[in-house]
Amino acid sequence: MRIGPYKFSNQLAAAPMAGVTDRPFRQLCRVQGAGMVVSEMVGSNPKLRGTVKSQRRLDHAGEPGPRVIQIAGGDPAMLAQAARYNVDQGADIIDINMGCPAKKVCRKSAGSALLADESLVAQILDATVAAVTVPVTLKIRTGPDDTNRNGVRIAQLAQASGIAAISVHGRTRTQLFNGEAEHETVRQIKQAVSIPVIANGDIDSPQAARRVLEATGVDGLMIGRAACRRPWLFAEIDHYLRTGTLLAAPTLQQECEIISTHIEQLYDFYGERDGVRIARKHLNWQFERRQPGVAFRYDMMAAESSARQYRLVQAYYHGLDHLQAA
């Protein structure tokens, strides 16, 4: 997969997710086989840049390039300025968010709310592309709602504006994350433009990845929520697409090492208090798959120190390992 001058190691991208794709999670996805990772969306309002949250979202210390920074907003001039600012801070690719369906984002006429105003979309794309010399990409949904799946027209506007690639989540804004993603619109978008197209939505297994590629002809696949629960999914999909065979799932010991390393990185990145709090979210996703007892889950969520939280993770997996060996 190639975007502008950048060639990625495979077709797989980790989707930008607010509150999730921080530096430790991006590092996790890279190690587990994602060819491209994208930052959490960063607001275009310059008044927000000094906040702790924004500074953390802009922290790419030690990360290899190309660094893909996603910006969000609804004002063309402000988004153009935000693009310039982030390039000055080290961004190699700027991604514009027109896919987020969250109410707090859409209420500000940003995210997927923009899809209902094609004129404004064109103004934003023209201004942002003109503002920087690096590639600018776009993340969208198939349209505002089921009566207006205008993804093809948006993609054509994007290509005309000089957008270097487009990622499409196979749901409308009003669908949120409900129901099944449809990739017929993604296929139509791929046929309507010559720039790279990346499909997103319900790609949760190697088999699903192949089905979407074959059905749409897209250049890449973007994985979001499924990677929160199984970050090694990138390696599984990459292996399957290259060889046609299924990669063995991580052993309990390997899974424990992956998760333990990730939460240690969260402690280092956020500090003791915030690191423990944010690790709870990631651990909760992991244990959704394994459904541990109520008592253990309570202890895990109630742990106030990184040392106790870490010990509980280790003890849980060691207990499973002993049961499996018995």
Contact 81, 131 (CB under 8 A): yes
pLDDT of residue 28: 97
Q: How many residues does the chain have?
A: 326
- Identify the bridge partners of residue 199 per DSSP, sorted by sequence position: 168, 221
- Res 112: pLDDT: 86
Number of compact structural domains in the chain: 2
Say if residue 290 is in the same domain as residue 212. no
Angle, CA 97 vertex, CA 208 and CA 168 arms, to 5°: 30
Reply yes or no on whether the pLDDT at 324 is more than 80. Answer: no
The pLDDT confidence band at residue 292, using thresholds 50, 70 and 90, is: low
Q: Is 225 in the same domain as 313?
A: no
Whether the pLDDT of residue 222 is over 80: the answer is yes
CATH of the domain at 55: 3.20.20.70
Half-sphere exposure of 283 (CA within 13 A, CB side): 30
**171 shares a domain with 278:** no
Model pLDDT for residues 183-218, shown as the tens digit of each residue:
999 999 999 999 999 999 999 999 999 999 999 999
What pLDDT does 88 receive?
94
pLDDT of residue 319: 76
Same domain (yes/no): 256, 237: no
pLDDT band at 230 (very low <50, low <70, confident <90, very high): very high
Can you list the pairs that 147-155 forms with residues at least 24 positions away whose Cβ atoms lie under 8 Å? 148/116, 148/172, 149/185, 150/115, 150/118, 151/115, 151/185, 151/186, 151/188, 151/189, 152/185, 152/188, 152/189, 152/192, 153/118, 154/98, 154/115, 154/118, 154/121, 155/189, 155/192, 155/193, 155/197
pLDDT at 107: 60
Q: What is the pLDDT of residue 288?
A: 81
Work out the widest C-alpha separation in the chain, in whole angstroms.
65
Indicate whether 298 pLDDT > 90: no
- Three-class secondary structure of residue 110 per DSSP: coil
Domain boundary among 218, 243, 268: 243
Query: What pLDDT is stored for residue 295 in this prediction?
Result: 77
Same domain, 206 and 258: no
Give pLDDT, residue 163: 98
Question: At CA 31, angle to CA 40 and CA 195, rounded to 5?
Answer: 55
Q: Which of 221, 243, 265 is the last residue of a domain?
A: 243
In terms of domains, do 103 and 64 share one?
Answer: yes
Taking 50 as the threshold, does the pLDDT of residue 253 lie above it?
yes
**pLDDT value at residue 52:** 84
Task: Give the tens place of pLDDT for each residue, 83-107.
Answer: 999 999 999 999 999 988 776 676 6
Provide the residue range defining the domain that includes 260.
252-325
The answer to whether residue 241 scores a pLDDT higher than 60 is: yes
Pick the catalytic residue from 100, 106, 228, 256: 100
Amino acid at 12: L
Rounded Cα distance, 263 and 265, in Å: 5
Mean pLDDT rounded to a whole number for the chain: 92
Whether 29 is a known active-site residue: answer no
Segment 232-238 mean pLDDT: 98
Last residue of a domain, one of 243, 265, 294: 243
Strands 6-7 and 2-3: antiparallel
User: What do you get for the CA distance between the two ends of the chain, in Å?
Assistant: 45
Integer Cα distance of 3 and 36 in angstroms: 10
Please state, in angstroms and rounded to a whole number, the distance separating the CA atoms of residues 259 and 282. Answer: 9
Most confident by average pLDDT, 201-210, 248-257, 283-292:
201-210
Check whether residue 178 and residue 214 sit in a common domain: yes
Task: Say whether both 86 and 191 belong to one domain.
Answer: yes
**Pick from 38-52, 170-184, 230-244: least confident:** 38-52
pLDDT digits 0-9 by tens, 264-279: 999 999 999 999 999 9
Do 124 and 273 belong to one domain?
no
Residue 322's pLDDT is 47
Model confidence at 51, pLDDT cuts 50, 70, 90, reads: confident
Q: Which residue has the higher pLDDT, 58 or 262?
A: 262
pLDDT value of position 48: 79
Same domain for 202 and 306, yes or no, is no
176 and 279 share a domain? no
Q: Are residues 22 and 171 in the same domain?
A: yes
Residue with tokens 């749409």: 216
| 48 Cβ neighbours under 8 A, 6+ residues apart | 54
If pLDDT is split at 50, 70 and 90, which confidence band does 323 have? very low
